[in-house]
Structure formats: C-alpha cells, structure tokens
Amino acid sequence: MSSRVNIAGKALRVPRLEHVLTILALCFLSVQAIAQNVSPTEPFGERDTYYPNTEALQKDEMRVIACGTGMPTTRASQAAACFLVELGNGDKFIFDAGSGSAERISSLQIPYDFLDKVFISHLHADHFGALAELWIGGALMGRQKPLRVWGPSGPTEDLGTAAAINALKLVYRWDLSGRVGLVDFRGYGLEVSEFDYTGENTVVYEDNGVSIRSWPAIHSLDGPVSYSLEWNGLKFVFGGDTYPNTWFNEYAKDADLAIHESFVAVPTMVSKMGFTPESALLVGTQIHTAPEAFGKVMAEIQPRMAVAYHFFKDFDTTSEVNDRIRTTYDGPLSLAEDFMVWNITEDEIRVRMAVVSEETWSPPLAGKAEPPGGDADRKTFSEKTDIPVDALNYSGFIISKKWDGVDEALRGVYKEAEEALGQEFPYPGDE
Ligand SMILES: [Zn+2]
Ligand SMILES: [Zn+2]
C-alpha cells in the first residue's frame, strides 16, 4: 500500500492497472539503458522534479499545481487554498485564491493573461483572501485583460460573491484611482459571474470544450460550493470546505483527480491550535471534514487519485492525518502540500513536487504593452466611478511641496532613456 501513498512530497506515478505489466517491463529496460548511458558530465534522462517552464503540456494532458493547501491561520510554508488547473488546449483555471497563494502563482512565472479565470468555492478569507493581489498585482505583472471571477450566491444578496467583489472594488478604489493614467490600465477590470449556490451539478462555465459544474457544500452558512471541471475525457474535482455531503458523493464520481478538504485531526487542534476540546470537536468534525471522514468520502467515490488538503503538513501531522485516512480508505492518495504537481492523462497520473524560484519578477507578456493612458483613462475611470477627475491628480496643496532639488537628477534619467532608446520622452510639466 505504501508505494501508492504520497505523503512526503516524493514523486509518484499511478498508472492504470492494465498498464502495470508493460511499465514493469519498461522499467527493467530503462534501468539497463541508464546503466549504459550514465555520464559524469551530461544530465541523465527524465527528472522526478517539476521545474516550471521546462515542460510542454501535451495536447491531451491536464496539469494541476497546488498553490495553497493550508489554513486560515497563516504560515510561511503553506498558503491557503488554491489550485491551478492547466489544460493541453491552453486554458488555465484557478480554483480558490486563499491568503498567500498569489506569491505561489507568481513563482510559476506564467504570463498573467493566461491566469484570468478564478472560481471561488466560498467567501472565507482562506479561499479568496489573495484575490486582490491576483487582481491588482496580476495587472501590474502583465495581465492586459480583466480578471474574471465566478462564485456562488448566498442566503441573501449581501452574502453572495457579487456583493463581495463589488465591495472589494470599493475597498481598492483609492488604489486604482492612484494608478489610473500612469500604467496600462486594461488589466485592472474585475468581472464577477455569480451563480445560484443551490444548483446541483449545474454547468456554470462552458467554453472551448471545458465544462465546469457546481454543487452545494455544507460549511458554516448556505453558499459554499464544490466544482468539477471536465475536458477531453478527464475530470478534475475541487471540493471547497464542507461537511461530507451526498452531492459530492454523487457528482465527484469518476473523478481522475478528486481534491477534498481533510482538516487537522481533532487532538492536534487542541494541542497546537489552542482550541478547547468542545470547539475542536465541533469545528474539526462538523464544520470541516475530519481525516477519517475524508477517507470515507474517497472510498465512496473511488477517484483515480484522492487529494487531501487543508491541514498543516508537518513531520508529525503528516503521519497522523495519513493514519486516520487509512482507517477508512486504501486507494491512491496524495497528501497535498504547496507546489505539489499532478500530470494527468488517460494512462497515468504522475505526482511530483515543483521546485521554484522565490525571487521572481514579472513573467513574459502575452501581448504588447500599451503606454499609460493619461487623462483619457482618468476621464473614463471618473465616469465609471463618479470620482471627480480633479481627485485623480494631486491637489495644489500637495504639489506645492514637491522638492525641486531633485529636478536635475531626474531630468538626467529622462535624458539617459532618450539616448538609450533614440526616442523623445518629454519631462513632466515641459510638454
Ligand atoms: Zn471555509
Ligand atoms: Zn478553508
């Protein structure tokens, strides 16, 4: 059994059973080949690590990368819920954007125009807390189109995704007001599609051969949902936080990859998180899915690969969660941590860890950047928001104390650019 478990980030391949014999034969052959070709100076064959931007995604392949697997209690080693799905047709989808996940996404160095679709399972901070960074930071890093967000309605209008996104736009109104006119503003739009949370396996997105469906989850309040994404005969399932529910049991069936929360075990909630036993029992078993219950769910739906997330994965908690899941489930299992990668084809699911750089800058642009839109952009923004154009520039009060002692030094920077690029850049105020 242990050969099918992925508990410590060790690479794992799970082929379909009928391919096992063929693969065994190939293994013996490849061992011989390696023995013949090994060299002290040349790299050897395929690596067991995923390095972003070194592997083409095949036409029939789905790649899923964990960009957050943790909790609402923040920590440096694990961001909160976020999974990126990349498809061989070029489409990419982000499921949840929990706190801290924007940095993980940035580490993958994917052009931001390709990261314009986010599906939110519910409005807890650990599931959409990084949305603003993905929205505004993503525009600054090269997204040239609006960020599109899908999410469920709630028990009242105020408790739905559209209300949350509209409120977020208000929260960041000063931020946007200070950027408009100074940068290529096309990426700063934020569009929301709210759908009915009561939909049962209802299509909420359909395009380019991809169908995304939603069904309700049972968590905290009415509103949370889980999703499936189907494409090219492959089925990805992302369970938002939930108490085990029969919708999931029914609609997650036949999943190739089934992601579902598996919360921190109750004793650990008491010993490490400061919960009282009473509230640990309630939160750990009734609001969330306990590891033992996660195992029951996966035994019910029998995916090609079960993925547990939403617990802090440490040297001591990993075996604890695993042991508890194994009391109820003995199928293929990944205990997720940030930067775990699943390559999924009809024949095989390959599990590896990505190795990424933390010192990343903006990835390449997918389209040509436009110079700042200046007053024209300010006018459009003013009409949309009712903020007077005057407020989108400094007041005379603030301008009056600009120190002209740096003027000459800064004119030098303009001159340097003119000489380097052979183009005129009028100094502000001189035009
Ligand atoms: Zn939640
Ligand atoms: Zn959560």
- Nearest ligand to residue 223 Cα: 1
Query: Of 354, 386, 415, which one is at a domain's C-terminal end?
Result: 354
Same domain assignment for residues 404 and 284? no
Residues 284 and 407 in one domain: no
Distance from Cα 429 to the centre of ligand 1, integer Å: 51
In this structure, the answer to whether residues 279 and 419 fall within a common structural domain is no
Helix, strand, coil proportions of the chain in percent (round to 5)?
Answer: 35, 20, 40
Distance 133 CA to ligand 2 centre (A): 19
Q: Domain for residue 370, yes or no?
A: no
Residues 51 and 138 reside in one and the same domain: yes
**For residue 276, how far is its CA from the centre of ligand 1 (angstroms)?**
19
Residue 260 resides in a domain: yes
Q: What is the mean pLDDT of each run of 10 residues along the chain (431 residues)?
A: 44 68 54 66 84 95 98 95 98 98 98 98 98 98 97 98 98 97 96 98 98 97 98 97 98 97 96 96 95 98 98 96 98 98 98 96 94 94 96 95 96 97 92 72
> How far apart are the CA of 124 and the centre of ligand 2, in A?
7
Ligand index nearest the alpha carbon of residue 72? 2
What is the spatial distance between Cα 72 and Cα 264, in angstroms, rounded to a whole number? 12
197 and 332 share one domain: yes
Range of 409's domain?
A: 395-426
pLDDT number for residue 9: 44
What distance in angstroms lies between residue 172's CA and the mean position of ligand 1's atoms? Answer: 24
| 271, 176: one domain | yes
- Which ligand has the minimum distance to the alpha carbon of residue 225? 1
Q: What is the pLDDT of residue 423?
A: 95
What separation in Å is there between the alpha carbon of 129 and the centre of ligand 1? 11
Residue 45: per-residue pLDDT: 75
92 CA distance to ligand 2 centroid (A)? 22
Asked if residue 415 and residue 282 are part of one domain, the reply reads no
How many domains does one find in the chain?
A: 2
Structure tokens at 187: 């990426």
Which pair of tokens denotes residue 174? Answer: 């000063």
Q: Rounded CA gap, 251 and 232, in Å?
A: 18
Beta strands in 21-78 (DSSP E): 49-50, 62-68
Strands, E assignment, 100-253: 117-119, 147-152, 190-195, 202-207, 210-216, 225-231, 234-238
> Which residues crowd ion ligand 2, with CB under 5 Å?
126, 241
Closest CA to 4 of 332, 360, 368, 306: 332
If residue 321 lies in a helix (H) or strand (E), which one and from where to where?
helix 317-325
Specify the DSSP class assigned to residue 384: H
Domain-terminating residue out of 354, 387, 407: 354
How many A from CA of 75 to the centre of ligand 2?
A: 14
The predicted pLDDT at position 4 comes to 44
Measure 123 CA to ligand 1 centroid, in angstroms.
7
For residue 157, how far is its CA from the centre of ligand 1 (angstroms)? 19
Of 302, 324, 354, the position where a domain reaches its end is 354
